[in-house]
Amino acid sequence: MAERIAIVGVGQTHHKSKRPDVTTAEMIAESVERCLEDAGLQMKDVDHLVGGSFEVADGYHCPDKWIIPELGAVGKAGLELQNVGTTGGVLAVASFNIAATGLFDTVLCYSWQKMDEAAGAFGRGGGGANEYWTGQFPMSPITNFARRTYAYMDRSGCTEEHIAMVRVKQDQCALKNPYAQLRLGLTVEQVMSDVLLAWPIRRLHMCPTTAGAAAFIVCPEERAKKVTDKPVWVEDWFTCHQGGALTMAEDPTSSTLRHACEVVYKRQNIKNPVKEIQAWEVYEPASPAELRWMEEVGICEDYTAWKLFEQDKVGIDKEVPFNPSGGVTATNPIGATPVVRLVEAALQVRGDAGEHQIPGKIERALATGYGGQGENVIMLLRKTL
Amino acid sequence: MAENLPEISSEPIVAGVTAHSNFLVSTGATGTKFLSELRDNKKIMGIKCPKCSKVYVPPRTHCPTCFARMSEWVELSGKGSLSSYTVVRYKEPYMPKEPPYAYGVIQMDGADTGMAHILGEVDLDKIKVGMRLEPVFKEQREGSILDIDYFKPSS
Ligand SMILES: [Zn+2]
């Protein structure tokens, strides 16, 4: 029988485009210090670590060899994992699995990306660059989301203006989040006249390059209750994959998100997600992805999410509180990005999100990780057991 | 089934992939202090843990034992003893010197850690663990660990 588990502490850096003032290890230590302080614990209390980044983008290999000493964690049990954009989600799932065994009391998950050091690392990015059939046409996340967004617009009636509304909503949320990187005060007109990368994707629609780190501590039930009076229970988690870009001929707008949510909702007997889940932190690498993601997590019918933006129903204090932190188009330290989603969702459940706190009781929050054109990690948090 | 593996019909086609990227490494506030002392004053600085008093060179910000933030700098003489070494006799890209040359880990006087560097002005067949060493600085220094050209046997 697995242990019930809870998040007892979270921490993140103030995300920026450049952090020359710290090494990668020091940047991670910053988030870990904040996380330990939040939990009221010390490094000596931690008995397992799980860490990682999207290593190809950082240009390092085996960075744990010099991060672990910087964290004062030499000799502790630990794993280093990576899986492109979903890295943080994979780290979280591994941390949950380890805590749920009951073999370890206090599992620290740390994650990072320092993209100010990764000049040109994305020359062959995205689209399954290692698989021959797509690797010969190295589609970046930009071209892939352009292709998927155009297919979405073609099927739904959504226009370029609606996509710009999504970006403006994200920015309005980020303006209330002191940890967010891009806090711009955008208008729909500004977004629509921004540099075109691949129609309909403009520069402002894509996630930025970020230097940042995020961490959390997860414990089995008994330990969690001793550490904090505000445990955030991890109710369920699930991760799955699909093929690369070219296997999505049937529905180019779709992802594994729908399937992953169906699995988790069924297991937790969630019938009406929009009512039963009060906070959403869903990994959107490009602003228009948010539309399809809202449909796939069950907030609205297929190809209707853009209407919610037209009706001004999406925002921190609106009908659909989707990505109150400002999301991934505001902040994207890739390897840490899904952990940032989890940290933000946990803060919402605790009621500690500050200016971007969703009003009312947050009984459930859903965070996701996304990467490699179709992998999804679902992390469902709960206030009460 | 494993016994039904397809037979390849011609010479196997294996595609080439070219990937080349340049990366930067931030040395941070602590590393920048160490490297600018090397560059500007030819000084080797260590950093001391406020909890366990260990001195680290090259420096880091957190003590690996205590996870305490360190900020007390200690000036070292630069002299030390060789704790281990190897002689490189093969060539590959990104090497800092033309082989043959020697890498050593130097236990600096006044520090509790070893520091990796190159050994110079030494007969490669006569290097001995424990031998005394001192740094030789480059004339043109740019704020790099290679502003120390190498460590040589000290008299
Ligand atoms: Zn110490």
Domain definitions of chain A by residue range? 5-122+210-232, 139-206+236-382
Contacts of B19 in chain A (CB under 8 A): 123-124
Instruction: With respect to residue B33, please indicate whether it lies within any of the assigned structural domains.
Output: yes
Residue pLDDT, tens place only, A292-330: 999 999 999 999 999 999 999 999 999 999 999 999 999
- Tell me, yes or no, if B29 comes closer than 8 A to chain A by beta carbon: yes
Say whether residue A117 is in contact with chain B using an 8 A CB cutoff.
yes
| CA–CA min distance B104, chain A (Å) | 19
**Residue A340 near chain B (CB below 8 Å):** no
pLDDT above 50 for B149: yes
Query: pLDDT at position A351, please?
Result: 98
* B2: in domain: no
Q: How confident is the model at residue A127 (pLDDT cuts 50, 70, 90)?
A: very low
User: What pTM was estimated for this model as a whole?
Assistant: 0.94
Structural domain containing residue B45? 26-153
Judge whether A269 is closer than 8 Å to chain B, CB to CB.
no
Which one has a higher pLDDT value, B84 or A139? Answer: B84
State in Å: Cα A379 to ligand 1 middle: 37
Give the residue from A355, A347, A379 showing the smallest Cα distance to A38.
Answer: A347
Supply the DSSP string of chain B, one letter for each residue.
-GGGPPPP-SSPP--------------HHHHHHHHHHHHHH--EEEEE-TTT--EESS--SB-TTT--B--EEEEE-S-EEEEEEEEE-S--TT-SSPSSEEEEEEEETT-SSEEEEEE-SS-GGG--TT-EEEEEE-SS--SSGGGEEEEEE--
Asked whether residue A120 carries a pLDDT value surpassing 60, the answer given is: no
Does residue B139 form part of some domain? yes
Distance from CA of A110 to the nearest CA of B (A): 15
C-alpha to C-alpha distance for A346 and A348, rounded to whole angstroms: 5
Asked whether this chain's domains A5-122+210-232 and A139-206+236-382 adopt the same fold, the reply is: yes
Which percentage of chain A shows pLDDT scores above 70?
A: 94
Cβ–Cβ gap A22/B28 under 8 Å: yes
Q: Looking at beta carbons, which residues of chain A come within 8 Å of B68?
A: 72
Ligand 1 centroid distance, CA of B53 (Å): 6
Which distant-in-sequence residues (6+ apart) come within 8 Å of B94 by Cβ? none
Given this model, what pLDDT does residue B1 score?
A: 60
Q: How far, in Å, is the centroid of ligand 1 from the Cα of A27?
A: 19
How many residues can be counted in chain A? 385
A25 — contact with chain B (CB < 8 Å)?
A: yes
d(CA B121, CA A223): 59
Chain segment A198-235, per-residue pLDDT in tens:
999 999 999 999 999 999 999 999 999 999 999 999 99
Dihedral pair phi/psi, residue B61, rounded to 5°:
-90, -35
Mean per-residue pLDDT, B149-154:
97
Let me know if residue B96 belongs to a domain.
yes
Spatial CA neighbour of A86 closest among A328, A252, A262: A328
- Whether residue B101 is contained in a domain is answered as yes
A32 to chain B: closest CA residue: B67
The answer to whether residue B13 neighbours chain A at the CB level (below 8 Å) is no
Name the domain count of chain B.
1
pLDDT higher at B4 or B82:
B82
The answer to whether residue B63 sits within a structural domain is yes
Output the CA B70–ligand 1 centroid distance in Å. Answer: 8
B60 touches A at CB < 8 Å: yes
Which residue from A119, A124, A132 is facing B24, i.e. has the nearest CB?
Answer: A119
Q: How far apart are the first and last CA of chain B?
A: 71
The closest alpha carbon to A370, from A380, A357, A379, A360, belongs to: A379
Nearest Cα to Cα of residue A348 among A177, A220, A105: A177
Residue B2 contacts A, CB cutoff 8 Å: no
Task: Tell if the CB–CB gap between B17 and A124 is shorter than 8 Å.
Answer: yes
Interface ipTM > 0.85: yes
Nearest-CA distance A80 → chain B (Å)? 18
Pick the CATH number of A5-122+210-232 from 2.70.98.20, 3.40.50.300, 3.40.47.10, 2.40.50.1040: 3.40.47.10
pLDDT, tens digit, 9 for 90 and up, residues A37-82: 999 999 999 999 999 998 877 777 889 999 999 999 999 999 999 8
Question: Is the predicted pLDDT of residue A249 greater than 80, yes or no?
Answer: no
Please give the distance, rounded to the nearest whole angstrom, from the Cα atom of residue B94 to the centre of ligand 1. 34
Band (A124; pLDDT cuts 50, 70, 90): very low
> Is residue B78 in a domain?
yes
Close Cβ partners of B33 (under 8 Å, ≥ 6 residues apart): B45, B59, B73
Structure tokens at A73: 């964690």
In angstroms, the separation between the Cα of residue B60 and the nearest Cα of chain A is: 7
Chain B residues with CB-CB distance to A37 below 8 A: none
**CB-CB neighbors (< 8 A) of B67 in chain A:** 29, 42-43, 71-73
> Which class in CATH covers the domain with range A139-206+236-382?
alpha beta
Residue A322, token pair as written in the block: 């989707």
Q: How many inter-chain contacts (A to B, CB under 8 Å) are there?
A: 80
Q: Which residue of A has its CA nearest to B27?
A: A23
A130 pLDDT above the threshold of 70: no
Of B19, B26, B60, nearest to A124 by CB-CB distance is: B19
